[in-house]
Amino acid sequence: MVVGITYGKATQLNGHYKAVAQDYDIYIGEEFWYRLTGYESFYYDLIDAFSSTAYEVDGTKVLSKNDHRASCRN
């Protein structure tokens, strides 16, 4: 068994993941996506796709709705 983390770097692992890493291989970010897909540039292609979509979509209404829900819980 392995543990896959979709983004980040090994230097960013928290204590939980460091403990898990003693018993399991952990693949993070670029290495995770490469091992999953077999494409070396997949991680950066994915980041580019998310980035371009974020610029194209106006999420103001969704964010406002979520902010309202969060304030109702307080």
Quick: pLDDT tens for 20-57. 999 999 999 999 999 999 999 999 999 999 998 888 88
In which band, very low, low, confident or very high, does the pLDDT at 16 lie, cut at 50, 70 and 90?
very high
pTM score, whole prediction: 0.70
**Range of 53's domain?**
2-73
Number of domains making up the chain:
1
Predicted pLDDT at 28? 96
DSSP 4: E
Closest C-alpha among 62, 61, 10 to residue 32: 10
